[in-house]
Amino acid sequence: MKLRYVLLLVISIWSCSKEEVSGESRDGIRILFVGNSLTYTNDIPALVKELGKLDAVSIDYKTIAGGDYGLDDHLTDGNVQKEIKKGKYDYVVVQQGPSALPESQANLMAAVQKYKALCDEAKTKLAVYMVWPSKGRLFDLDNVIFSYSNAGKKNNSIICAAGLAWKKTWSTDPSISLYGPDGFHPDLSGSLLSAMVIYGTLTEKNEFAQLQSENTSWSKYINTKTLDVLKNAAKEAIQTRF
């Protein structure tokens, strides 16, 4: 049965399933992630959990994510409302596409307002996970940053400013890609940076001294120099007040 469960879990991740459950301890931070492929690519929730483990912080999580899903699509499905209403999460972390255009900004604002109402009813904190535009529309990065920060601020929600951390990374070292082969989804560096921002923001920590390149899931892919740039970029993004 255990082997069958592991196989099913692996299949669900690689087939971009809408739901995933992970975590063992029931005594740590409990997070519900709601989003799309910008959440499940490289399994950002699992990276957040790994960061917690390195920092002696236990994290349990569940992910509800579908390919090309917006936040309203999840509400239409109805699974998110049921999960939030269970009241077992400390944080609900939400994201959709870049939402840079005016109509997309309005959509994100309205969606975050709906999620905030659900979270308030369940006595759960809402966090907005700021993403980034495609490489071909990098000129939209500031609009993405504004869209997500504005939606979070206007709805009195936590802002996990990953998109800003991407910008700060490039201001230090433009040679660090952060993008995967398709020029939109993150490579492992981009996912780790986003996970660092989410973890640091939720735990109110901006120092990442515990993160070394040895004995981690990214040790073979991210060198020490790049990791130091990511740490500093995450710290600056977390410290930013919108």
Check if the beta carbon of residue 13 is closer than 8 Å to that of residue 20.
Answer: yes
Predicted confidence at residue 22, as pLDDT, reads: 44
Residue 56: CB partners within 8 Å, gap ≥ 6? none
Q: Is the confidence at residue 200, as pLDDT, over 50?
A: yes
| Mean predicted confidence (pLDDT) in 197-222 | 88
Predicted confidence at residue 27, as pLDDT, reads: 57
DSSP string spanning 77-109? H-HHHHHHHT---SEEEE--S---SHHHHHHHH
Q: Is the confidence at residue 15, as pLDDT, over 50?
A: no
Q: Is the confidence at residue 141, as pLDDT, over 90?
A: yes
Predicted confidence at residue 74, as pLDDT, reads: 98
Q: Is the confidence at residue 91, as pLDDT, over 50?
A: yes
- Bridge partners (DSSP) of residue 22 are 61
